[in-house]
Amino acid sequence: DAGITQSPRHKVTETGTPVTLRCHQTENHRYMYWYRQDPGHGLRLIHYSYGVKDTDKGEVSDGYSVSRSKTEDFLLTLESATSSQTSVYFCAISGPRDSPYGYTFGSGTRLTVV
Amino acid sequence: KNEVEQSPQNLTAQEGEFITINCSYSVGISALHWLQQHPGGGIVSLFMLSSGKKKHGRLIATINIQEKHSSLHITASHPRDSAVYICAVPAFYNTDKLIFGTGTRLQVFP
């Protein structure tokens, strides 16, 4: 949906290299999330943010860091990529609780670590 | 911490059939989400509901708070409904962090 974009859409990188994924929103929502999606697992939370410079870890945060210096941008960094981080990464935003849907997802980034 | 289970994992239907997908969770929640993901595609929010029933086109979502159970129904199913349907609930009551089911893969054949 318009309002949240992820970049890049696809990336192949080598083991040991740093990688940064970007999530950009135009909805001015406070909450932003990074998830990974792997076969056999539901979406799993990596990190989330509840405001500028306010971030916290999710259930699978090891090997990942995040930054949020502006409301609209939430960056996910793999400090030293490993093959186990090959996955599809989704960014999401959540709006006010009285909104009809609550969550909006980006289109995903397919990351392959070789 | 909440746990969520969906059933069935896989579902095959003929066009026009009535479809039901189920979701159960373990801890009381403020709202439950139904999402749709087409093959190779992004994730779209279908419903967020905290009680009763919601309807959007041929899709109907119901929730029973006492039973900790929700259903997603598709009436007059169509091949374009083929997708993975995902249920999600808050990890704890009244938090925005969600826990996701592993999804129900639906295939509708003409």
Helix/strand/coil for B107: strand
Q: What is the pLDDT of residues B22-75, one digit of tens each?
A: 999 988 788 899 999 998 788 999 999 989 999 999 999 999 999 999 999 999
Q: B97 and A45 in contact by Cβ < 8 A?
A: yes
The predicted pLDDT at position A99 comes to 59
Q: A95 and chain B: CB distance < 8 Å anywhere?
A: no
The Cα A67–Cα B89 span in angstroms is 26
**Could you tell me if A40 lies within 8 Å of chain B, comparing CB atoms?**
yes
Q: Name every chain A residue with its beta carbon within 8 A of the beta carbon of B103.
A: 42
CA distance A48 to B89: 16
Contact B71, B22 (CB under 8 A): yes
Whose CA is closest to A93, among A23, A40, A39? A23
**Cβ contact B98–A103 (<8 Å):** yes
Q: What is the pLDDT of residue A94?
A: 87
Q: What percent of chain B has pLDDT over 90?
A: 75
Residue A1 has pLDDT above 70, yes or no: no
Q: How confident is the model at residue A57, as a pLDDT? A: 93
Q: Which of B31, B44, B102 sits opposite A41 (nearest CB)?
A: B102
Report the alpha-carbon distance of residue A79 to residue B110 in Å, rounded: 47
Bridge partner list, A37: A88
